Amino acid sequence: MKCEKCGYDSEENKTKSGLNLCSVCFSFAPNDPEKLDEYIKEKIPKDILNSFRKYSKFRGEVQKIGMIKKSSQGKHMSRIPFGYQRDPQGLLVPAQNYREIEEIFEEFLQEDMNLRKLSEKHNFSVNGLKKILRNFVYIGKIRFNGQIHEGKHQAIVSSTLFNHVQNKLDKIKRKKSK
């Protein structure tokens, strides 16, 4: 398909407001329909964008490679999970509130406990609570790019407790999907 901005012909074109755009033109295209019309009218020769096109494929790849390397070394790269803080070397260490994480995992396994009750008790949304209960960080592991690595940080809950919680979450999920 041809880009409606620069005329570049590619199978990887993207659509915005029904217009076919190459990846470079798409990345600069405004979301406002009126501004998008103005943007499309300002034609630009496809040759001028070739250097952008050539290097835009690599955008983000360098960062992802670095993140994969860090995660394989057991380093956590995203937002600090509830119950942890960073030490001066940048590693995760249990924060003062880390015992609340243990409580959440243990309470969830109680027979009469469900996600809604537990989320209200600990002042989390149900989805926020699910993220905590599914987070491998709490057993001392790092999950990134579909892989799980040993973390350089201290676990807050045991693998056994974590696995029991995963089983209960899976049962809840199966019940809902029926």
- Where do the H-state alpha helices sit in the chain? 23-28, 33-41, 50-56, 61-72, 98-108, 115-122, 126-134, 159-177
Backbone φ and ψ for 72, nearest 5 degrees, come out as -70, -20
d(CA 72, CA 65): 11
pLDDT of res. 57: 59
Its pTM stands at 0.67
- With H, G, I as helix, E, B as strand and everything else as coil, classify residue 154: coil
pLDDT of res. 62: 73
Q: Which residues pair with 93 in a beta bridge?
A: 85
pLDDT of res. 131: 96
pLDDT of res. 129: 96
For 102: left if phi > 0, alpha if psi spans -120 to 50, otherwise beta; the answer is: alpha
pLDDT of res. 55: 67
DSSP string, 59-93: TTHHHHHHHHHHHHTT---SSPPTTEEE-TTS-EE
Report the relative pairing of strands 92-94 and 84-86 from DSSP bridges: antiparallel
Per-residue pLDDT of the chain (178 residues; tens, 9 = 90+): 888 888 888 777 788 888 888 888 888 888 888 888 888 888 887 788 877 777 665 666 778 888 889 899 999 888 999 999 999 988 899 999 999 999 999 999 999 999 999 999 999 999 999 999 999 999 999 999 889 999 999 999 999 999 999 999 998 888 877 7
